[in-house]
């Protein structure tokens, strides 16, 4: 029997702190503390990065490049990217470039983040329901999702990045964002079904766990590795789950870190 997509109100939220059943014997899975929206603390002075004009320039550039979803552009104009990068790199925070965040991982280019979020939001609803993010990283995309979705579960396998994201997001106090430490390849079944799933790392194959946890009518946006004539290439995939099966679209080439399993 297929399950209809539903909002968080249709289902009680799982208790927190949460534990992933498959990992209980090896390591605990932590969740972030619910965060309430409050004004942000002071940012470093002299950089001009706290000015909304800086973010508006980024938004204007993305709009010229074809990002037209007003909800995504509004989120990008609110969330301050420079709070999620190393202090030595803050002057590059609003350039369209990926930046290192430690442990061999990166924060994706704003144009790629905006593109993936716009694809996720193409359903047309004003606000998405429950969404799962695979790969929290530094927490930037989770903060953006918090502006676009009713409820966000974001899972990260690297404890160092999970802790960093918690620190980065704590000042924002986003009540609808919950951070989990766990294996993203397995998704997060206690929160399913999801209206959307978005991945920040490239998988070799489409995870069956993600498909199972996606609601009928839901959408998955993820980079997928594909073996090309020369080396390993990646492309952006959109997978829509319908009552009759999966509808898959392969879009433009992208470059992401590879998706890995287990905890580290």
* Separation of alpha carbons 152 and 77, rounded Å: 19
For the cut 50, the answer to whether the pLDDT of residue 48 exceeds it is yes
**Tens of pLDDT, residues 56-77:** 999 999 999 999 999 999 999 9
Higher pLDDT, 92 or 17: 92
CATH fold for the domain made of 8-253: Rossmann fold (3.40.50)
Residue 173's φ and ψ, nearest 5 degrees, are 50, 60
Q: Provide the b/e sequence for 132-159 (b: ≥16 CB within 10 Å).
A: bbbbbbbbbbbbbbbbbbbbbbbbbbbe
How many other β-carbons are positioned within 10 Å of the β-carbon of residue 9? 10
Q: Which residues are catalytic?
A: 108
Q: 251 Cβ partners below 8 Å, 6+ apart?
A: 119, 235, 236, 237, 238
Higher pLDDT, 19 or 112: 112
Average pLDDT, the chain: 84
Determine the pLDDT at residue 16: 32
Instruction: Note the helical H segments in 172-257.
Output: 208-213
Determine the pLDDT at residue 228: 56
Determine the pLDDT at residue 124: 66
């Amino acid at each position: 029997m297929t399950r209809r997509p539903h909002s968080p109100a249709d289902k009680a939220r799982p208790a927190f702190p949460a534990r992933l059943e498959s990992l209980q014997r090896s390591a605990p899975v932590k969740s972030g503390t619910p965060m309430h929206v409050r004004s942000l603390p002071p940012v470093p002075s002299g950089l001009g990065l706290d000015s909304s004009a800086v973010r508006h320039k980024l938004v204007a550039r993305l709009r010229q490049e074809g990002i037209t979803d007003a909800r995504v552009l509004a989120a990008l104009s609110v969330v301050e990217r420079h709070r999620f990068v190393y202090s030595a790199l803050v002057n590059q925070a609003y350039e369209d470039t990926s930046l290192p965040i430690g442990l061999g991982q990166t924060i994706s280019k704003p144009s790629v983040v905006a593109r993936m979020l716009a694809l996720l939001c193409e359903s047309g609803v004003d606000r998405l329901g429950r969404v799962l993010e695979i790969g929290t990283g530094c927490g930037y995309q989770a903060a953006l999702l918090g502006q676009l979705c009713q409820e966000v579960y974001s899972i990260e396998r690297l404890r160092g990045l999970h802790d960093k994201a918690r620190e980065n997001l704590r000042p924002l106090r986003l009540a609808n964002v919950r951070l989990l430490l766990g294996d993203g390849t397995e998704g997060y079944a206690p929160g399913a079904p999801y209206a959307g799933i978005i991945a920040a790392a490239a998988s070799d194959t489409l995870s069956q766990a993600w498909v199972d946890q996606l609601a009928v009518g839901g959408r998955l946006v993820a980079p997928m590795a594909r073996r090309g004539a020369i080396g390993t290439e990646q492309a952006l995939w959109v997978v829509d789950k319908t009552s009759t099966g999966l509808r898959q679209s392969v879009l433009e080439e992208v470059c992401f870190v590879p998706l890995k399993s287990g905890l580290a």
